[in-house]
């Protein structure tokens, strides 16, 4: 008997997930070795990626059977990210992001372009799973540690807050059940799994670029 999709996703992405989580940038950020500017820089990358993902999902996949069950308005991050960008960068941040004064690293631009230009229902489902389930899980740890180390109030960390979903564990369990109920054949399942592993690598590429952009410590030699 084939394992449920949620189990297959966790199993098939474990190595890529661990690699992204162990990036030097995230290690330095979560251990308090950076500063609030690094949090702001990460926020700018998230704003760009989510801008692409939510725009494509809303305009092209709102009624798609693979995605309709996952595209809960309570998960949408753009209003929260807009508030966070205003907190970190002040008035006029949209113009400064557009003209490059707020940095978007190359990996972020590449990821957003991929979402906008090379999407499919399977691609969008995989990326939604990687990003949103990560935000509902590890994102809560990021919120707690960033607040502790850098003294940033919730007014600058709205991205990590999900006031509309109720109890976190119950919601995540329901999300996984919706994934498991999808009518995917073998080829479709394999495509989703491949896209999910790739999504973790794409997010890891963003962390690597941020490491260079904000001056995080270089990764120790093996």
The answer on whether 17 is annotated among ligand-binding residues is: yes
The answer on whether 129 is annotated among ligand-binding residues is: yes
The answer on whether 10 is annotated among ligand-binding residues is: yes
Take residue 71 and report the two structure tokens written for it. 């595209």
* Alpha-carbon gap, residue 205 to 140, rounded angstroms: 21
* Alpha-carbon gap, residue 184 to 66, rounded angstroms: 8
* Alpha-carbon gap, residue 49 to 47, rounded angstroms: 6
150 C-beta neighbours (distance < 10 Å), count: 17
- Helix, strand, coil: what percent of the chain each, to 5? 70, 0, 30
Q: Are 108 and 45 in contact (CB under 8 A)?
A: yes
Q: Which residues are annotated as a binding site?
A: 10, 17, 129, 176
Q: Which residues are annotated as a binding site for heme b?
A: 10, 17, 129, 176
């Amino acid at each position: 008997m084939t394992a449920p999709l949620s189990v297959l996703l966790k199993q098939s992405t474990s190595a890529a997930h661990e690699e992204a989580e162990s990036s030097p940038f995230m290690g330095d950020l979560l251990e308090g070795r950076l500063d609030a500017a690094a949090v702001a820089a990460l926020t700018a990358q998230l704003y760009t990626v989510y801008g692409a993902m939510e725009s494509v999902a809303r305009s092209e996949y709102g009624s798609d059977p693979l995605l309709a069950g996952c595209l809960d308005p309570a998960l949408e991050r753009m209003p929260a990210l807009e508030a966070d960008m205003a907190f970190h960068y002040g008035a006029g941040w949209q113009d400064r992001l557009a003209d490059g004064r707020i940095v978007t690293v190359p990996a972020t631009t590449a990821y957003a372009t991929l979402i906008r230009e090379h999407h499919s229902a399977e691609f969008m489902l995989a990326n939604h799973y990687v990003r949103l389930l990560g935000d509902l899980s590890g994102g809560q740890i990021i919120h707690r540690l960033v607040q502790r180390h850098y003294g940033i109030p919730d007014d600058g960390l709205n991205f990590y807050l999900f006031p509309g979903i109720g109890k976190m564990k119950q919601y995540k369990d329901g999300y996984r059940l919706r994934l498991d109920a999808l009518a995917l054949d073998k080829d479709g399942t394999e495509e989703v799994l491949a896209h999910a592993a790739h999504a973790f690598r794409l997010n890891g590429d963003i962390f690597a670029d941020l490491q260079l952009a904000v001056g995080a410590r270089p990764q120790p030699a093996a």
